Homo-oligomer: A and B are copies of this chain.
Amino acid sequence: AKIVILAGDGIGPEVAREAEACLRLISGARGLGLTFEDHLFGGAAIDASGDPFPEETQRACENSDAILLGAVGGPKWDGGSVRPEAGLLKMRGTLGLFANLRPARTYAGLESFSPLRADIVKGADMLVVRELTGGLYFGDKVEGTEEASDLCTYSRGEVERIARVAFEAARKRRKKVTSVDKANVLATSRLWRRVVTEVATQYPDVELEHALVDSTAMALITHPTRFDVILTENLFGDILSDEMSVIGGSIGLLASASTGTTGTAVFEPIHGSAPDIAGQDFANPAGAIASAAMLLDHLGHSAEARILEAAVEQAIAGGFRTRDLGGGTRCSEFGEQVRLSVD
C-alpha cells in the first residue's frame, strides 16, 4: 500500500519521522509491503509554491491508500494572504473526508496530568465522530466590511453517512452514541436529530441519546466517563473534541483519522505545530504514532495496529515521558523506545 507522508510545519516533521519509522519497522517485520512518499503541505508548501495543498501533493494523495500528516501552520504564515489551514480545508473537500474520528482516554499512570480531578476523569474513554465537510465550514460566505455571513447547511445524506460511521464505531466499543446538536434553536440541528434517530433504528444494539451542545460542554467536564461515542456536526465537533482532548493530560498523546468517500484517509496527531519547540527534539510523538496505528487499522492490519498501540502504552507505562508530561525523554528516544517493544 502507498503511504503519503505530509510532514508539514513546526514539530510536524519530527513527530512524522518517528511515526514513519514505526510503520517501516512493522511493515518490514510483518511483510506488509508499505511504501512511503514525502510531499509538501501547509506552510512548507506555501513557501515552495504559494499553495498550501499544491496540485502535485493533491495528485499524490488521491493516488495513495493512506496519508500520514504531521502538523501545519505557524506564526510565519499568519499574516499572509494564504494560510496553511486553508490547505487542510481544501484537502478535506478534495478528498471528501467527511468523517473525523478523535479518540481520547486516560492513560494508566498519567491521571495526575489531567486538569480534572482524578476521581472524575478515571476510566474516561471516548470517541468523537465529527462531520468534517458540511455545516458552516463549507457553506456560502459573504465577506463584507459592514456585514458578513456564513451559511450552515446539512442534507439528509450528509447526516446519514456520518451517523452510520458513529453507530459502526459504537458497535466496536461500548455501544452508546450521544448525538450532539442545538435542536432547540437550529433548523439544521432538527434535521440532524431526525435523521440520526432514523439511522439508529438500523442499530438496535446501540443505545442512542440526544444532547444539546451547551449541556454537553458541561457534562464533558463533570461526567466524562458517561460518554462512549459522541456524534456531532462540524463546528460543534471542532469545539467539543478540543475540549475533551485536554482531559487526558496531554494533547500530545492523541490521534485522529479523517476518512471519506475516495478510499484514502488522513491520519494525524491532534496537536498543533508548536513552533516554539520545533526542531529541538522535545515534541511528544505518541499522538503521531497512535495515528499511524489508526492508519494500520484502515489498511486492514488490525493485529499490527494493536501491537503498535500496545508499544506506545508500554513506553508510557515504562516512564518514558516527553517534556509535555514533565519528563526528559526526547522525541526520537520515545520513538526508539516504542520500536524496541514492537520488535
Contacts and interface: CB of A to CB of B under 8 A. Distances in A.
B153 A152 contact: no
A318 to B, nearest CB: 25
Contacts of A184: 83, 85
Interface size classification for chain A: 35 or more
A143 B187 contact: yes
A117 B115 CA distance: 6
A283 interface: no
A148 B239 contact: no
A202 interface: no
Contacts of A200: none
30 contacts: A115-B116, A115-B222, A136-B152, A141-B186, A141-B187, A142-B187, A143-B190, A143-B191, A145-B156, A145-B191, A145-B194, A146-B156, A147-B154, A147-B156, A147-B191, A149-B153, A149-B187, A149-B188, A150-B187, A150-B188, A213-B238, A214-B238, A215-B242, A217-B240, A218-B243, A218-B246, A218-B251, A221-B243, A222-B246, A239-B239
A137 B185 contact: yes
A297 B120 CA distance: 37
B214 A239 contact: yes
Interface in A56-95: 83, 85, 89
Given A147-B156, A149-B152, 18 more contacts: A83-B184, A115-B221, A115-B222, A117-B117, A143-B187, A144-B191, A145-B191, A148-B190, A149-B154, A151-B152, A152-B152, A182-B238, A218-B242, A218-B243, A218-B245, A218-B246, A218-B251, A221-B221
A162 to B, nearest CB: 15
Nearest to A191: B148
Contacts of A247: 221
Contacts of A117: 114-117
Greatest chain B CB density within 10 A among A141, A185, A214, A220 is at: A185
A155 interface: yes
A235 interface: yes
Contacts of A279: none
A221 B221 CA distance: 8
Interface in A22-64: none
